């Protein structure tokens, strides 16, 4: 029975290797390489290299020197962003330039500003470098993104640019040659490269007809126009595996290419098992999205594919079972044959293939240890930054190996995005389709803002005790403070983290909305005068507009003016529409000063006001303010890009239709609900959201 089960698993392993060799994009061939430059080009486009560097005193000099020695005919500038290093990184970079005086003016060393919440550590530095590159050489057609521990061959840039130009690629990336000197490096590093190729077959990455996308963060040449098309580094600013995220974003609208090289090398060493173990265990479970199910599936798959062949051979020999032995040997031979080209890349002989099962076992143990650390609430540390579990960030193992990045990141945002999207859908808001008209990043940002608004509004409207409402709103104030410190606790806060920095959302607007909801939270709401009403409208409506307009991309001055005019108009419409409903809850948003002007006494019970004969007159006067604000908003919106402001226009047109219905009713039937029919909503969508 036991031997029968072992034989079945050995057969599965052998078939798995047969499938991988024949149908997994020939990943094992390790044959995707840059070609030599066959002819000189008439024009070599300008390139700017950006190097994020944090505590890289030991390697940054060789990296900068290798770039300044590039045999590249076109304009080339190097920008080193010193990411708050505690050593002499910046000085070493400058010293390297002094050693190449003929190219010294090609180097700029920037002092990076402290890490901004919501960004991965490396990408925040890259973002600063790319922004500076726009001024250093606005004509540059390409940006070379590389690490501070990479030594580039003298022909590297020439070959990268030539390949991009000839193939029309928006991204050309090289998995640099990793250090492979010590015993542990020779055993584990080629295996790591082999696993990466199996996960992302390079031929599939390079095929524009396939969706597979990947890149190697140590060396990426990016076409500037493609980077602008996806929204710049901000578009991936919160991503953990940012090189692959960049590749995926670019491949949606362009071509990418990923290959191997022996001319560009990583300078980082891993001389002991503990060095590699700590680096991998620090983050491997993050790559499985902290999923116990994925962890279990990975362990089972690795055991069957890598461990079963040698175990089957040993068991077959021990039991004198020739069939089991033969199947085990067949699987082992397939594994070794597939591994041989990667070993050849690293100048290693065939014998090291026998150690691949052991390497697989060690990586499984590192991954299990990573899960253990996560479940115990302990993360790792990298370059002086703590990377914890839960709401803190996780360091990605691969950057030290030259093809992935080190990061500081909020938790996996997928669940947070799903949470806020569910809130939007369940609310059945009439603005759902307006938000759906936005691109993915802006739509997600608007969903997060809407979910926040919905949550604090529900707190204010809850029929519970006022004291409980104040406690809950204070908790949201604390969450906003955590959000701007980069460590939100709630799903909504986590979903807001990336939009916060991508679109420059201001803390004061979030706090203003909470303040407005606190005005609503009182058991008995009364607005004393028009100034207070204007402040209330600004907090609960205009603040939302200011947040939204920054996401839409409108300039700050115009956006704030639109938000003020339209927010006042929309909220006044809400107040006029809901006079009856609010009175049932003893809430009165019509200014007391305005009521007194028309000799209308404000009763203790707001419901008594509904029968007052002058109430329609007061509503008409307030409606004049709303009509004026609608007119102001329309004039400002007419100066804006219509496509950019479609959601705001749809909101305005929907509310203006409700406002006109109220006007036509003469404020006589305040107890009759006023809303738009499905046909009217559809017309607004077609007329202002699509046409």
- In this prediction, what percent of the chain has a pLDDT beyond 90? 50
Residue 108 bridge partners (DSSP): 79
User: How confident is residue 323, by pLDDT bands cut at 50, 70 and 90?
Assistant: very high
Residues in the chain: 691
Mean pLDDT of the region 386-415: 39
- Min mean pLDDT across 90-94, 217-221, 253-257, 436-440 is at 436-440
- Supply φ then ψ for residue 28, to 5 degrees: -70, -15
Do strands 256-266 and 171-177 pair parallel, antiparallel, or not at all (unpaired)? parallel
5-23 per-position pLDDT tens digit: 889 999 999 999 999 999 9
Q: Which two tokens stand for residue 574?
A: 């809400």
Q: Does the pLDDT at position 381 exceed 50?
A: no
Mean pLDDT of the region 458-485: 86
Q: Report yes or no: 452 and 488 within 8 Å, Cβ to Cβ.
A: no
User: How confident is residue 666, by pLDDT bands cut at 50, 70 and 90?
Assistant: confident
CA distance 188 to 312: 23
199-234 per-position pLDDT tens digit: 899 999 999 999 899 999 899 999 999 998 988 888
Q: Of 140-149, 225-234, 288-297, which has the strongest mean pLDDT?
A: 140-149
Q: Does the pLDDT at position 262 exceed 80?
A: yes
> For residue 650, what pLDDT is reported?
82
User: How confident is residue 397, by pLDDT bands cut at 50, 70 and 90?
Assistant: very low
| Residue whose C-alpha is closest to residue 492's, from 453, 540, 452, 550 | 452
Q: Does the pLDDT at position 553 exceed 90?
A: no
- Min mean pLDDT across 209-223, 292-306, 489-503, 670-684 is at 670-684
User: How confident is residue 77, by pLDDT bands cut at 50, 70 and 90?
Assistant: very high
> For residue 385, what pLDDT is reported?
47
Q: Report yes or no: 390 and 298 within 8 Å, Cβ to Cβ.
A: no
Q: Does the pLDDT at position 280 exceed 90?
A: no
> For residue 99, what pLDDT is reported?
82
Q: Report yes or no: 408 and 322 within 8 Å, Cβ to Cβ.
A: no
Q: Does the pLDDT at position 154 exceed 90?
A: yes
CA distance 361 to 344: 22
Q: Does the pLDDT at position 659 exceed 80?
A: yes
| Residue whose C-alpha is closest to residue 380's, from 350, 351, 355, 400 | 400
CA distance 236 to 226: 13
Q: Does the pLDDT at position 408 exceed 50?
A: no
Mean pLDDT of the region 399-425: 57
> For residue 431, what pLDDT is reported?
63
79-94 per-position pLDDT tens digit: 999 988 888 999 999 9
> For residue 378, what pLDDT is reported?
53
* Residue 683: burial class (beta carbons within 10 Å; 0-12, 13-18, 19+): middle
- Min mean pLDDT across 384-388, 621-625, 658-662 is at 384-388
User: How confident is residue 334, by pLDDT bands cut at 50, 70 and 90?
Assistant: very high
- Min mean pLDDT across 35-39, 408-412, 545-549, 645-649 is at 408-412
> For residue 118, what pLDDT is reported?
66
CA distance 385 to 84: 11
445-462 per-position pLDDT tens digit: 999 999 999 999 888 887
Q: How many CB atoms lie within 10 A of CB 522?
A: 14
Q: Does the pLDDT at position 286 exceed 70?
A: no
- Min mean pLDDT across 344-353, 460-469, 479-488, 677-686 is at 677-686
- In this prediction, what percent of the chain has a pLDDT beyond 70? 90
- Min mean pLDDT across 176-190, 261-275, 283-297 is at 283-297
Q: Does the pLDDT at position 425 exceed 50?
A: yes
User: How confident is residue 28, by pLDDT bands cut at 50, 70 and 90?
Assistant: very high
- Min mean pLDDT across 214-218, 436-440, 519-523 is at 436-440
Mean pLDDT of the region 30-43: 85
């Amino acid at each position: 029975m036991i031997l029968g089960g072992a034989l079945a698993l050995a057969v599965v392993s052998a078939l798995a290797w047969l499938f991988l060799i024949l149908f997994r994009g020939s990943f094992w061939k390790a044959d995707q390489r840059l070609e030599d430059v066959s002819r000189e080009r008439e024009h070599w486009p300008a390139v700017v290299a950006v190097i994020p560097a944090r505590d890289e005193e030991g390697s940054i000099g060789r990296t900068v020197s290798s770039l300044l020695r590039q045999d590249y005919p076109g304009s080339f500038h190097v920008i080193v962003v010193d990411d708050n290093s505690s050593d002499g990184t910046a000085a070493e970079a400058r010293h390297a330039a002094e050693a190449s005086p003929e190219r010294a003016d090609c180097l700029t060393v920037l002092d990076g500003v402290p890490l901004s919440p919501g960004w991965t550590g490396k990408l925040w530095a890259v973002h600063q470098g790319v922004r500076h590159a726009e001024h250093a050489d606005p004509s540059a057609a390409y940006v070379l993104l590389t690490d501070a521990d990479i030594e580039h061959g003298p022909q590297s840039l020439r070959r990268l640019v030539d390949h991009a130009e000839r193939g029309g690629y928006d991204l050309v990336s090289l998995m640099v040659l990793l250090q492979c000197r010590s015993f542990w490096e020779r055993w584990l590093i080629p295996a790591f490269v082999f696993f990466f190729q199996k996960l992302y077959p390079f031929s599939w990455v390079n095929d524009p007809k396939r969706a597979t996308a990947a890149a190697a963060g140590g060396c990426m040449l990016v076409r500037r126009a493609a980077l602008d098309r996806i929204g710049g580094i901000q578009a991936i600013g919160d991503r953990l595996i940012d090189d692959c995220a960049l590749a995926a974003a670019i491949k949606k609208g362009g071509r990418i290419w990923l290959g191997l090289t022996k001319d560009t090398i990583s300078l980082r060493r891993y001389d002991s098992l503990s060095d590699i173990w700590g680096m991998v265990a620090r983050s491997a479970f993050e790559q499985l999205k902290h999923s116990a199910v994925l962890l279990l599936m990975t362990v089972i798959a690795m055991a069957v594919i890598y461990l079963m062949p040698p175990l089957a051979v040993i068991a077959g020999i021990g039991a004198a079972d020739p069939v089991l032995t033969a199947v085990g040997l067949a699987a082992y031979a397939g594994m070794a044959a597939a591994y041989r080209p990667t070993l050849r890349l690293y100048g290693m002989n065939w014998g090291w293939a026998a150690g691949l099962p052991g390497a697989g076992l060690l990586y499984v143990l590192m991954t299990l240890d990573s899960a253990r650390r996560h479940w115990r609430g302990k993360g790792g540390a990298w370059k002086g930054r703590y990377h914890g579990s839960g709401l803190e960030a996780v360091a990605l193992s691969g950057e030290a190996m030259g093809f992935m990045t080190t990061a500081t990141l909020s938790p996996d945002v997928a669940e947070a995005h799903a949470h806020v999207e569910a809130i939007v859908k369940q609310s059945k808001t009439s603005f759902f389709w307006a938000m759906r008209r936005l691109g993915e990043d802006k739509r997600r940002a608007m969903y997060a803002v809407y979910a926040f608004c919905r949550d604090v509004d529900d707190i204010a409207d809850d029929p519970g005790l006022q004291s409980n409402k104040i406690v809950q709103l204070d908790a949201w104030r604390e969450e906003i403070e955590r959000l701007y410190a980069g460590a939100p606790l709630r799903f909504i806060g986590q979903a807001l983290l990336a939009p916060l920095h991508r679109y420059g959302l201001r803390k004061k607007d979030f706090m203003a909305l909470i303040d407005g909801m606190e005005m609503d939270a009182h058991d008995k709401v009364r607005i004393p005068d028009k100034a207070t009403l204007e402040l209330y409208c600004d907090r609960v409506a205009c603040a939302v507009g200011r947040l939204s307009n920054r996401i839409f991309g409108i300039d700050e001055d115009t956006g704030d003016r639109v938000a003020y005019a339209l927010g006042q108009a929309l909220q006044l419409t809400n107040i006029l529409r809901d006079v009856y409903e609010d009175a049932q809850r003893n809430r009165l948003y019509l200014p007391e000063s305005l009521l007194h002007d028309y000799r209308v006494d404000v009763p203790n019970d707001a419901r008594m006001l509904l029968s007052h004969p002058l109430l329609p007159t007061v509503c008409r006067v307030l409606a004049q303010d709303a009509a004026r604000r609608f007119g102001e908003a329309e004039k400002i919106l007419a100066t804006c890009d219509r496509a950019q402001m479609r959601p705001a226009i749809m909101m305005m047109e929907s509310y203006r239709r409700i406002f006109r219905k109220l006007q036509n009713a003469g404020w006589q039937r305040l107890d009759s609900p006023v809303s738009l029919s499905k046909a009217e909503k559809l017309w607004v969508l077609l007329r202002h959201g699509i046409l």
